[in-house]
Amino acid sequence: MNFDFDAQVTAALFDRAGAVFALGDGSVRFDDRTVVQAHDGAVLCAAVHPFGDGVVTGGDDGQVVWSRRDADAVVLASAKNQWIDSIDAAPASGLIAFSHGRTLAVIDAKDPAFRRDFAHERTVSGVAFEPKGRRIATSTYGGAALWYARIEKQQPVLLKWAGSHTAVAFSPDGAFVVTAMQDNQLHGWRLKDAKNLRMGGYPGKVRSVAFLSNGQLMATSGAQGVVMWPFIGSNGPMGREASEIGFDDSTVVNLVAGCADHGRVAAGLADGRVWVAAPADQGLQFLKADKGAAITALALSPAAARVAWADEDGRAGVSDIDRR
């Protein structure tokens, strides 16, 4: 299944019904060809709605919008005169978190009246829920902050590390927080004692991370292959070396996608190709073998059976994975 959009794709995702693409022209496109005009401006970030039905997007119009296949777009929240820079959603708690400027905001998909706003000293670049959906990590200059999603007045737990942190993720067991940094490295913390995890040596910036194999592996972009860090036991990657799969010195991996419950990882390359692999097996399965514009959006379905991708020229596709 292929698409040729007339705008760049900001994000590719899978809700419970199939693939979804969020575009720079403010629209959300579903794989059944349904189009929802969600924003007056560009979509800047997107996440699957906590109910699994459609997606929530943030735009440069300052709005958070819920788009579905069979309903009109619904504005869930607004941030006056500010862009919505990052967004995440938690199926376990039904909460949605998003950032605008120096603020983290939290809303409840089941309660339109609920909202919490948490101020930071510097711009918030990324947000991520813990697996239970009760705490939120934010990335910002100087490290990360941990907030309880529903408590109105609180002081965050600060995880400090010098530099600009551009994205954030929780490990599937909730034991670690990992950030991508501006200077071609990752940093992490073990939450029980705030022990630092240093993960460097990348030739390029790490634009995405993905956990797979029941959280025992973390895949990252930013190199000529997919870099795999072990997260086995209470020490995570501390004292362990990373491995690399799919090495190709003619290009770099732009994006990775995975599912914590499965052992497959998808990679989108700067030369336009897309492949999927199981690190325990040999070989790569190319879902898009033709070279072209760089891959800018990538998603693996929850059952690790399909991959959605898009390139910087607006071409996109949804491919089934050969399970032989």
The CATH number of the domain holding residue 268 is 2.130.10.10
When pLDDT is cut at 50, 70 and 90, the band that residue 280 belongs to is confident
Beta carbons of 144 and 209 less than 8 angstroms apart: no
> Does residue 206 register a pLDDT over 90?
yes
pLDDT band at residue 323 under the 50/70/90 scheme? low
Phi-psi domain of 251 (left: phi exceeds 0; alpha: psi -120 through 50; beta: other): beta
Q: Is 37 among the domain residues?
A: no
Q: Greatest CA separation found in the chain? A: 53
| Residue 275 is assigned to a structural domain of this protein | yes
Residue 266 is part of which domain span? 205-317
Average pLDDT over residues 65-71: 96
Contact between 223 and 244 under an 8 Å Cβ cutoff? The reply is: yes
pLDDT at 309 over 60: yes
Q: Per-residue confidence at 283, pLDDT binned at 50, 70, 90?
A: confident
If pLDDT is split at 50, 70 and 90, which confidence band does 72 have? very high
Establish if 299 belongs to a structural domain: yes
Q: pLDDT band at residue 324, thresholds of 50, 70 and 90?
A: low
Residues facing residue 212 across a β-bridge: 217
Average pLDDT, the chain: 95
Can you tell me the mean pLDDT for 37-53? 97
Tokens 């909730």, residue?
Answer: 174
Whether residue 282 is predicted with pLDDT greater than 90 in this model: the reply is: no
Total domains in the chain come to 1
Residue 209 counted as domain residue? yes
Q: Does any domain span residue 195? A: no
DSSP 122: S
Whether 253 maps to a domain, the answer reads yes
Measured from the Cβ of residue 249, the count of other Cβ atoms closer than 10 Å reads 7
pTM of model > 0.85? yes
The 10s digit of each residue's pLDDT in 86-111 is 999 999 999 999 999 999 999 999 99
Q: What are phi and psi of 88, to 5 degrees?
A: -150, 160
Instruction: Tell me the two tokens of residue 79.
Output: 């941030």
Nearest to 116 by CA among 60, 154, 59, 65: 154
| Residue 77 within a domain | no
Phi, psi (deg, nearest 5) at residue 239: 75, 10
pLDDT in tens, 125-151: 999 999 999 999 999 999 999 999 999
pLDDT band at 236 (very low <50, low <70, confident <90, very high): confident
Q: Is residue 296 part of a domain?
A: yes
How far from 142 is each of 99, 108, 179, 244, CA to CA, in Å? 17, 29, 11, 29
Residue count of the chain, please give it. 324
Residue 270's CB is within 10 A of a number of other CB atoms, namely: 20
